Amino acid sequence: MTVITIQCRLQAQEETLRHLWRLMVEQNTLLVSKTLEQITIHSELDLWLAQGYIPSETIKEIVKQLKKQSKFQGMPGRFSNSAETLVKEIYKSWFAVQRRKRNLLWGKKRWLTMLKSEQELLEQTGLTLPQLQAEAEKILNREQKKFDKLKQNKDSETETPKDLFAHLFQVYARGTKNYEKEKKPHLKTKKLIKQCAFVYLLKNKCEISIEPEDPEKYKQYRLKKKIQLDRLEEQLKARLPKGRNWAKEEYLEALEQAQCLITENEEMELLQARLLRSEKSIPFPVSYHTNTDICWSKNERGRICMTFNGMVTEGHTFEVFCHHRQLHWFQRFYEDYQLYKQNKKQIPAGLITLRSASLVWQEGETKKSQKPWLTNRLYLHCSVETELWTQEGTEQIRQLKIAQTQQKIDRWLEQKSLNKNQQQKLLANQTSLSLLKTFQGFSRPSKLKPQQNSSLIMGVSIGLQEPVTVAIVNVTNGEIIAFYNTRQLLSKPIQQKPQPGKKAKKHTQYELFLRRRQQQQDNDAKRQHAQTKFADNRFGESELGIYVDRLLAKAIIEMAIQYQVSSIVLPDLTNIREILESEITARAEAKIPGCKKAQKLYAKKYRKSIHRWSYARLYDAIASKATQKGIAIEIERQIPSGTPEIQARDLALTAYCNRQQATG
């Protein structure tokens, strides 16, 4: 299923905007902030931090107790549910960041523990440098063969390391355990030499260094890793999530504390952070996770309007303003709701096009008024399933939901005894299943699947110089019928209005791609300049990259339909670093053959000049459009060597061979 998010601006009378602003600021945002505050002072906080999660029932109970206060009286139930869900999401993401940093810290500590200079390795083993290098070369040749066999053996139950470095590190870790258990002196010495040879290979990136190690460079490298370690440890001491303090109580308290004598550095740093903390001037968003909580209608002028359950009786209505490209979606929301309102007991809510929505305030560019509900703009973000637009997609989703609901019912029935809450959930699932099975369907447009030729497959390779290259391959004989690079995919002209008295210049979509790359280089230069002055180096990125990704995805899907390919093969992004680094290395070796030092300098400059594209974002754009058109997506490992078109061809052939093996 493909879920996309569309947005529209909401306009309403000033009284309606003021009412909603106060609800979101004085109740919803305050409830989120107070809930986060209660968690920080909870008696079981240390236990939750050790476990890495907070029980949902605990957050629910905290919100329930806070709602009893007079300031939250009259708060709509959807707003309190949204606040509870938001707190859960905040801590879920916070714990995920903490786990990632802990894993990174553990890895850096392990690396720093094993890291030794060449002099230390020679003293430990009693060997000369040529002898140590000879031992390392023997190990490298042996382990390279083992790693190549692992890559070829795809049926192996054990996970294959992503590169040779990871493979050597795994073997080294196992060898360290065996070395510690060994008690015989002569065997212990042999294993020590072997482990030191592994350390030599790992610190030299799986190569035998021609020149001896510079002690000063080693000291700088070790100091650099130690600084990274210290910074990670400081980041792990980060404060717990906090809400938005509209009353400025924390700032005034910190300002009063700053007037007293402070002797401790840590206390001073904490106080400084509290004073410099920038507060958001807009409230937290309100999410509606149930699509029937939004009521759609049309006014006397025929414009689409909406209101929310909990605000209907007060007469607060909002008018929808959106781009003409998204108008058909909001027209569909209106049609679905009118049909649902007339036949509530016959239409399952799970097949309504709208899945969920969020009310979001955005800061205005100019402050024409002191009233924040007029200064800031109100938007509605809607999540929709693209498959539900067509009749065939709706039927596919219906069958999927029938299977999922039946599984839930079977799990409930397997339990011997159910409490009242579980019985209610079972009854709700049984009702949903009955509606899904008896529902006759919406009158939605039918969309035929494009014709496909089983012998044609499209391979899509990625790289640095060419972010994407497409090859149409006849898999029966391995012939490349056609291939397109980035420039050819973006060869369509851009429609621009000519200036008065001047001829219109012809521009192509490829110029947008070049402009995006120039933006990346400019931002990198600004960032480096800001770092030298210890200034803020966070520069916002424009949405031009997203737009170019969509243009590339659209062009690729058009090619797939034109050639009637049976599937599109995308590269596995888990080995993307290996792909890009191999391209840089091959370019450096071709440019400066025989000189390793000059090759490294060239590779460093080349990395700066050619920035990496957002391959994951491009991947999602291609997969999303392919799903909409009914074209299958396959994922295979891209071979790092060869030209982009050969890599794309090999992807298609690999997918075909794997498909043949799977079908027997």
The DSSP element (H or E) to which 456 belongs, if any, is: strand 456-461
Stretch 134-163: mean pLDDT: 78
The DSSP H or E segment spanning 393 is helix 391-414
Residues 79-101, mean pLDDT to the nearest whole number: 91
What DSSP letter does each residue of 43-55 carry, written as one string?
A: TTHHHHHHHT---
CA atoms of 375 and 356, how far apart (whole Å): 26
On whether both 493 and 638 belong to a single domain, the answer is yes
How far is the C-alpha of 211 from the C-alpha of 129, rounded, in Å?
11
Edge-first strand order for the sheet with 469-474 is 479-484, 469-474, 456-461, 567-571, 632-636
Give the separation between CA 306 and CA 133, rounded to whole angstroms: 74
Q: Could you give the CA distance from residue 403 to residue 350 in angstroms, rounded to a whole number?
A: 13
- For the chain, give the percent of residues with pLDDT over 70: 86
3-state helix, strand, coil in the chain (%, to 5): 60, 10, 30
Helix (H) or strand (E) holding 354: strand 354-362
Last residue of a domain, one of 177, 212, 247: 212
The CA distances from residue 362 to 80, 330, 354, 372, in Å, are: 21, 21, 22, 11
> How many domains does the chain fold into?
3
Residue 438's alpha-carbon distances to 58, 83, 428, in angstroms, are 39, 36, 16
* pLDDT of amino acid 499: 67
543 with 580, same domain: the answer is yes
Q: Mean pLDDT over residues 112-127, rounded? A: 88
User: Where a domain ends, among 438, 473, 494?
Assistant: 438
- 199 in any annotated domain: yes
Instruction: List CB contacts of 236: < 8 A, sequence separation 6 or more.
Output: 98, 101, 102, 105
- Would 330 be classed as within a structural domain? yes
pLDDT at site 291 = 84
Based on the fold, state whether residues 551 and 430 are members of the same structural domain. Answer: no
Mean pLDDT to the nearest integer, 619-641: 84
Model pLDDT, residue 278: 57
CA 471 to chain centre: 28
Strand partners, 356: 383
489 and 430 in a common domain: no
Q: 42-51, 165-174, 270-279, 513-522: lowest mean pLDDT where?
A: 270-279
The SS3 assignment for 592 reads coil
The Cα 100–Cα 121 span in angstroms is: 32
The verdict on residue 275 lying in a domain is no
Instruction: Give the structural domain span for 497.
Output: 456-663
Q: What is the pLDDT of residues 3-24, one digit of tens each?
A: 888 999 999 999 999 999 999 9
Q: Please name the residues in contact with 609: beta carbons below 8 A apart, sequence gap of 6 or more.
A: 521
Task: Note the pLDDT tens digit of each residue in 188-233.
Answer: 888 888 888 888 888 888 888 888 888 888 888 888 888 888 888 8
For residue 390, being part of any structural domain is answered with yes
pLDDT digits (tens, 9 = 90+) for 243-266: 876 655 565 666 666 667 666 666
Query: Is pLDDT above 60 for 610?
Result: no
CA 66 from centroid of its chain's CA atoms: 34
d(CA 376, CA 364): 4
Tokens of 44: 């079981």
Q: Are residues 488 and 562 in the same domain?
A: yes
Whole-angstrom distance, CA of residue 423 vs CA of residue 148? 56
**Are 300 and 417 contained in the same domain?**
yes
Question: How many Å apart are CA 99 and CA 342, to the nearest integer?
Answer: 49
C-alpha pair distances (Å), 202 with each of 139, 170, 507, 581: 12, 11, 49, 17
pLDDT in tens, 335-348: 999 988 888 778 88
Give tens-digit pLDDT for 434-454: 888 888 777 888 776 667 788
Instruction: Based on the fold, state whether residues 413 and 484 are members of the same structural domain.
Output: no
**Do residues 425 and 496 both lie within one domain?**
no
Phi, psi of 446 (to 5 degrees): -95, 140
Phi, psi of 99 (to 5 degrees): -65, -40
| In a domain? residue 640 | yes
Structure tokens given for 607:
């990395």
Query: Coil, strand or helix: which one is 286?
Result: strand
Please state, for a pLDDT cut of 90, what percent of the chain lies above it. Answer: 21
Residues in the chain: 664
DSSP character string of 459-520: EEE--SSSS-EEEEEETTTTEEEEEE-HHHHT-SBPP-PPPTTSPPPP-BHHHHHHHHHHHH
Q: Confidence class of residue 494 from pLDDT cuts 50, 70 and 90?
A: confident
407 and 543 fall within a common domain: no
Considering Cα of 569, then 574, then 575, then 576, what sign does the dihedral take?
positive
Contacts of 353 (CB under 8 A, 6+ apart): 329, 332, 333, 336, 384, 385, 388, 389
> Quick one: which H or E segment has residue 3?
strand 3-11
Same domain, 407 and 473: no
Tens digit of each residue's pLDDT (9 = 90 or more) over 386-419: 888 888 888 888 888 899 899 888 888 888 788 8
Please determine, for residue 303, whether its predicted confidence score (pLDDT) is greater than 90.
Answer: yes
Q: For the chain, give the mean pLDDT.
A: 83
Same domain, 654 and 527: yes
- Cβ–Cβ contacts within 10 Å for residue 300, how many? 5
Name the residue among 619, 504, 516, 510 with its Cα closest to residue 568.
Answer: 619
Domain membership of residue 7 (yes or no) is no
Residue 233 lies in a domain: no
Maximum C-alpha span of the chain: 94
The C-alpha atoms of residue 178 and residue 382 are separated, in whole angstroms, by 57
Indicate whether 373 and 481 sit together in one domain: no
Inter-axis angle of helices 615-629 and 544-563, to 10 degrees? 40
User: Is the pLDDT at 311 greater than 80, yes or no?
Assistant: no
Tell me, yes or no, whether 227 lies in a domain.
Answer: no
Mean pLDDT of 371-376: 87
Is the pLDDT reported for residue 368 higher than 60? Answer: no
